[in-house]
């Protein structure tokens, strides 16, 4: 498993985590830690449990065993505080087809933080993914890559400490991938953490990788 | 409370963008209730006697029509995950969804019922009483229906299953809703029926959000 390479204290510590799906273990005795400004890439074959691990970290799936700690405290003790620290990008975008890009970001942020995002932050998030021209287009009229960009803009807008991303580069063209890398770099430089399940090489200096074993 | 208001506003806006979904429900209500006078014939005393029961049953079926999409659409596009991950209680989100459903179905059904009641030859005071019973009774239908929708989320044939789950649970509301009108006609205690309807709504309000939240968490796993 991962060893700490320097003496920066871990913000997120996962110890002996085990998850089961349909009665079968997906992974067992999984332990890792993540410090401020670190990115962890989850790799592994289809069905190795990358998505399950992300969902377990978000408390969407109850782990069979193990602990998840943030700054030394079990995150399950105050789940709402923990959820407030998270930004989530699943394999589904979490966008409403009948709402525009800007409306989707606005409502997602109000559901997440109960505050309305100010116009400046909203336009910055849109600009990070080159969405300014698409802001007033309903999501259902956009292509898969454009939707993915809108979902990533939602993650950026949240300003959350920990990004949980499931295949963030899916359907993105090279320009959008560069935009995503720049946004992720800013997030990490500001002391944020990110965990991304990915097939594609993210290509980050100092990125750590956790390879999940193939299921038995 | 901010997240609650944002969720209600979002659902209302989604309905506004796609008014057809609500129009179908209201059209069903109109068509279903007008079939009875046509089928039974214009015998005034018969129609007056069955009016409340027919209108209440039709309102119940109409409310169920739109319920299977209540959580399914959020489940399909991933926004349900965002609700599960919101840093405020999921119970409030469940209540917000049912609240929005009531505003776009229960409220217009209660407003339409007196208009349709005219076709049954009801007296003006009975028409008003009918609207009042629906106004107090339909929140229970939205809450119980919301629970059935959450429990059947992701199931095949969820629409039929939803009706099977929700209809028996709605029987008390139906009995006291239609019974109130009956009481008014026969000199019974109208107020007592209304009080029981309101009590049923309060019981649903106090219990279903927790059950819906639990069902949604299960669906999210």
A76-129 pLDDT, tens digit each: 899 999 999 999 999 899 999 999 999 999 999 999 887 777 888 899 999 999
ipTM over 0.85: yes
DSSP H helical ranges for chain B: 2-17, 20-40, 44-65, 72-77, 79-84, 90-101, 107-117, 124-151, 158-169, 171-186, 190-220
- Measured between beta carbons, the chain B residues lying within 8 angstroms of A62 are 221
Distances (CA, A) of B18 to A123, A168, B9, B22, B100: 27, 30, 14, 8, 14
pLDDT score for B2:
84
Q: Is B18 on the interface with A (CB under 8 A)?
A: yes
B128-162 residue pLDDT tens: 999 999 999 999 999 999 999 999 998 888 888 99
Orientation of helix B158-169 relative to helix B171-186, angle to 10°: 50
Contact status, residue A101 vs residue A65, Cβ threshold 8 Å: no
**Which residues 61-100 of B are in CB contact (within 8 Å) with A?**
76-79, 81-89
Chain B residue nearest residue A111, CA to CA: B3
Chain B residue nearest residue A53, CA to CA: B221
Rounded CA gap, B26 and A73, in Å?
52
What residues pair up with A211 in beta bridges, in sequence order?
A43
Percent of chain A with pLDDT strictly greater than 70: 95
* pLDDT tier at A1, thresholds 50, 70, 90: very low
Contact status, residue B37 vs residue B119, Cβ threshold 8 Å: yes
Q: Which of A56, A107, A159 to mutate to test the interface with B (most CBs of B within 10 A)?
A: A107
Query: Quick one: average pLDDT of B79-87?
Result: 93
The structure tokens 């932050």 sit at A121
At residue A216, does pLDDT exceed 80?
Answer: no
Query: Quick one: average pLDDT of A192-210?
Result: 85
What residues pair up with A25 in beta bridges, in sequence order?
A20
First CA to last CA distance, chain A: 19
Q: Interface of chain A against chain B, CB under 8 Å?
A: 55, 58, 60-62, 80-81, 83-84, 86, 88, 90-99, 103, 107-108, 110-115, 138
pLDDT score for A215:
47
pLDDT score for A23:
82
CB contact under 8 A, A86 and B85: yes
Q: What is the pTM of this model?
A: 0.90
């Amino acid at each position: 498993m991962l060893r700490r390479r320097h003496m920066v204290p871990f913000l997120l510590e996962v110890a002996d985590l085990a998850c089961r799906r349909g009665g079968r273990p997906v992974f067992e005795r999984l332990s890792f830690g993540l410090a401020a400004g670190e990115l962890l890439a989850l790799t592994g074959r289809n069905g190795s449990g990358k998505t399950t691990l992300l969902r377990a970290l978000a408390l969407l799936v109850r782990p069979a065993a193990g602990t998840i700690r943030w700054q030394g405290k079990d995150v399950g003790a105050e789940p709402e505080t923990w959820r407030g620290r998270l930004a989530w990008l699943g394999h589904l975008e979490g966008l409403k087809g009948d709402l525009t890009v800007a409306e989707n970001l606005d409502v997602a942020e109000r559901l997440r933080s109960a505050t309305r995002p100010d116009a400046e932050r909203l336009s910055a998030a849109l600009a990070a993914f080159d969405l300014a021209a698409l802001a007033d287009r309903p999501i259902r009229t956009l292509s898969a890559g454009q939707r993915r960009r809108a979902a990533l803009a939602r993650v950026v807008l949240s300003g959350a400490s920990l990004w949980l991303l499931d295949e963030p580069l899916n359907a993105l063209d090279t320009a959008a991938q560069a935009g995503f890398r720049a946004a992720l770099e800013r997030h990490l430089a500001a002391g944020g953490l990110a965990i991304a399940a990915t097939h594609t090489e993210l290509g980050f200096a100092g990125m750590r990788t956790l390879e999940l074993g193939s299921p038995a | 409370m901010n997240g609650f208001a944002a969720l209600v506003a979002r659902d209302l806006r989604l309905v506004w963008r796609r008014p057809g979904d609500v129009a179908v429900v209201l059209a069903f209500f109109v068509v279903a209730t007008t079939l009875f006078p046509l089928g039974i014939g214009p015998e005034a005393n018969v129609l007056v006697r069955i009016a409340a029961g027919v209108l209440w049953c039709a309102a119940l079926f109409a409310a169920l029509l739109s319920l299977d999409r209540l959580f399914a659409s959020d489940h399909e596009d991933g926004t349900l995950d965002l609700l599960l991950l919101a840093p405020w209680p999921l119970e409030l989100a469940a209540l917000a969804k049912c609240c929005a459903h009531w505003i776009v179905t229960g409220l217009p059904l209660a407003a339409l019922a007196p208009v349709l009641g005219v076709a049954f030859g009801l007296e003006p005071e009975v028409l008003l009483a009918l609207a009042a019973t629906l106004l107090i009774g339909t929140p229970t239908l939205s809450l119980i229906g919301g629970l059935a929708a959450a429990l059947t989320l992701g199931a095949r044939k969820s629409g039929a299953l939803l009706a099977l789950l929700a209809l028996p649970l709605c029987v008390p509301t139906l009995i006291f809703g239609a019974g109130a009108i009956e009481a008014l006609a026969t000199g019974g205690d109208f107020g007592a029926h209304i009080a029981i309807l309101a009590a049923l709504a309060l019981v649903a309000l106090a219990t279903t959000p927790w059950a819906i939240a639990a069902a949604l968490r299960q669906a999210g796993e």
